[in-house]
Amino acid sequence: MLVLVLSTVGMALGVSQAAAGPRTHVRTAKAAKSMFPGTGYFSVGQSKGRWWLVTPQGQPFYAAASDTVAPDGSGTDQVTGACPYCQTVASGYPSTSAWGTATIGRLRSWGFNTLGAFSDTATLGSQMPYELQLTMASGNDWFAPSFVTGVDNVAATQVAPRANDPNLIGYFTDSELNWGVPVGSVDPLNEYLALPPGSPGLAVAQQYVGNPQGFIYALATRYFKVTTAATSTTRTTSFWGSRPRDRRSPRPCWRRPSRTSTCSVSRTTPCNPVWPKWCKEAGPSTFPSSRIWPTSSSM
C-alpha cells in the first residue's frame, strides 16, 4: 500500500496527468508505452523501487497543485465580513464560467496541473485533475453509532457520485485532525473522559487513563476502520487519510496501513525531525518535497 498526500502553504504536491485530454499539461516519464496497466482512473504503482501516482492511461505522474482555487478564494473576512476576491471576480468576469476558463489558463501557464484541496471542483474539475477535501470526522464521540452514520452519509453524497470520475486523483478524508501530541488545551483523552456518563467514547477512554498515546491509537483505529468501511466499494487507492498537521504525530496512520491507501501530512512549518525515521520504517522511498509517503502492508 502507499502513502501519498500533500499540502503545503497554499500549494499541494501530488502526481497527475489529466484524464481530461490534451488540454492538461503534465510532466511525465519519457516512455514509448505505458509503464503501468491503464485502469481508467488515477491509481498507484511501483516501478524499479519507486512509487508513483499513475494516470488513468497507465503513465507515471508528478503533479503540482494549488489549494483553494475557487471564485470566493478563502471566503469572507471573519472580522469585516468582506470577501475581496469575490468582489474581484464579480467585477472582472462576466460569469463564474469565464473566471474558471481564465483561471485554468493561468494555472497551466504557471506550471500547475492539478487542483488542490478546497477548490471549486464543480466548476473546474472537468478541466483539470483534482484532489477532493472531505470532512468525515463529526461529533464529539467517534465510538458512537452517530459517527458511523455521519461518515456513511459523506460517502454516499460526496464519494459515490465521483467514483467514476477519471479526473479525480484522490480524497482527503479530513484535514488537520489532532493525532498524538496534545496541542495547548486540546487533549483527546481528556476530552473523551469528560463525555457524559453512558457515552461509548467515555467507556473506551476510561480504559486508557494515564495512557494518552494508547487512546490515540484506539481512536485512530476506530476512525480508519469506519472511514474505510464506508468507502470500501470505491477505488481505495484514492484515499489519502486525514492529513494531520506536521507537528502532530502521524503515527496512527503509519501504524494502520490497511485502513487507508495513503497517508498525508499538512506541512506548514519545518518537518518534525523524528518523521524521517518513521517514514523509513514505513516502507518504500518517499517524495520529500511533497510530504507524500508510502506505507508498507507489512507494518
CA separation for the pair 129, 259 (Å, rounded): 25
Residue 294's nearest CA partner among 39, 32, 47 is: 47
CA separation for the pair 33, 39 (Å, rounded): 15
- 104-107, Cβ contacts within 8 angstroms, sequence gap of 24 or more: 104/128, 107/66, 107/69
Residue 136 has pLDDT above 60, yes or no: yes
What residue has cell string 472531505?
134
In the 8-state DSSP scheme, what is residue 157? I
CA separation for the pair 181, 216 (Å, rounded): 9
Q: Model confidence over 221-274: pLDDT tens digits?
A: 899 889 888 887 766 556 777 776 654 544 555 544 444 555 666 655 444 444
4 falls in which pLDDT band (50, 70, 90)?
Answer: very low
Write down all domains in the chain, each with its CATH number in brackets.
11-184+211-293 (3.20.20.80)
Percentage of residues in the chain with pLDDT exceeding 90? 36
Structure confidence at residue 74 (pLDDT): 78
Q: Model confidence over 73-94: pLDDT tens digits?
A: 877 888 888 999 999 999 999 9
Higher pLDDT, 274 or 147: 147
Residue 101 has pLDDT above 80, yes or no: yes
Tell me the average pLDDT of the chain: 75
Residue 53's nearest CA partner among 249, 277, 239, 274 is: 239
Structure confidence at residue 200 (pLDDT): 98
pTM: 0.74
